[in-house]
Structure 1
Amino acid sequence: MTVPAHEFDPESLGTPPLYTLNLSAAQRDVLAWLEEHGAFEQAIGVDAAQVASDCGISESTAYEAFNRLTGLRLALDIAPATYRLNARYFFTAHPEMRTMVSAALHDPVVQPDERALAPRKRGNTDARRRRTIRPVDTD
């Protein structure tokens, strides 16, 4: 399924640049902490005390940072103390990925041919049998 070019704009995947959001240093640190701990790929459980310790901030500042990040929707509060980063933020940080996603949505679907649909070989015996030169009967 291809998406017509007029329906999808890869730039729509991005978010406003971070410098326009007026994030504090603690909020940037918490955002970086979430990135480093894999919050792009999946929702992760977060202990605010551990985040505060890792980032060198107070626990109350960590809570304020999480509240601001979820308010901006940079971090999505999936469940209590479980966060995932907004995929649009990922695409802002990695603009080359926007181009790849756009190409994937516009490119045609890969179509297997007859050879791809043929049965696969079962084992090495079949391959050896095909490579063996057999004498021809001359009788």
Structure 2
Amino acid sequence: MAATRRAARRLELVDTTTGEVVERKQRVPHAFDGKGYTLEGHGAEVPNFSLNLSGTEWDVLDWMKQHGGCANPVRLEPSEVAPLLCSTPNTVKAAVARLLKLNLMLRIGGPRSGTYQLNPRRFWEGSGEAHVKACTRMDPPAVAPDAKALATALKAAQKATDTARDAAEAADEAEELAPDSKLAEKTRATAAATHASAILAVETAVNLGAQLPVQLRRFLQEAAK
């Protein structure tokens, strides 16, 4: 005997006190304004905080987000945007140029179009399906550090290793002057903390693709022993 197909049931919200049918609220894909989720890429790619972005560069990224640039091409005129960012047109223009070089922003259209979109590999607003289609259509390049980011990372790594060596020498001196004292214990703990910070700074420079000078390579070799 063939199974009978049940008719689809229509469910309603009912006020149990009055018996009144309450209209169901329309669901939206985003909890705030229905535009979908906002993604900021992370993982193997270069993190934004390691790129030594200027204040204006951060402001331009934020302006693009606020004007739909996470999922759509947006026209950005430096002369119009600069007053909103408390900046100058030339500073905004330079910020856009660096963000394009870093691949955080992509130019849409010709070189004089003035239309941009945030890299969907790093920023996105919308559904997952639309995200996949956008990445396939645009074939966005990976975010890549420039010379400024690499130089800053190397400078930070050098400073951190110098601090770590000074702290290690201070710990050795304290141990010689007052073995097993609180001072020796405190300086040794400081040395351990600065050493860990130095390793992190050097590894960050390596992950960005910086070419380490000899002294930094030796530091990593010593730390690995």
TM-score, length-scaled by structure 2: 0.35
Contact 2:107–2:116 at 8 Å: present in 1 too? yes
Out of 79, 90, 93, the residue aligned to residue 63 of structure 1 is 93
Bigger RCO (CA 8 Å, 6+ sep): 1
Amino acid at match of 1:46: L
Unpaired runs of 5+ in structure 1? 1-10, 106-139
Map of 1:82 onto structure 2: 115
Contact 2:42–2:122 at 8 Å: present in 1 too? no
- RMSD, matched Cα: 2.9
CA positional deviation for 1:14: 6.3
Verify: 1:29 aligned to 2:46, yes or no.
no
Q: Distance in 2 between matches of 1:14 and 1:30?
A: 24
Q: Distance in 2 between matches of 1:47 and 1:59?
A: 8
Q: 1:20 to 1:64 in 2, by over 3 A?
A: same
Amino acid at match of 2:122: Y
Amino acid at match of 2:48: L
Corresponding residue SS for 1:23 = coil
CA positional deviation for 1:24: 0.3
TM-score, length-scaled by structure 1: 0.55
TM-superposition CA deviations, 1:7-51 (whole Å, max 9, x none): xxxx88863211101100010001110111000111011111111
Unpaired runs of 5+ in structure 2? 1-40, 133-225
Amino acid at match of 1:89: R
Verify: 1:40 aligned to 2:73, yes or no.
no
Map of 1:131 onto structure 2: none
Amino acid at match of 1:40: C
Identity over aligned pairs, percent: 31
Corresponding residue SS for 1:88 = coil
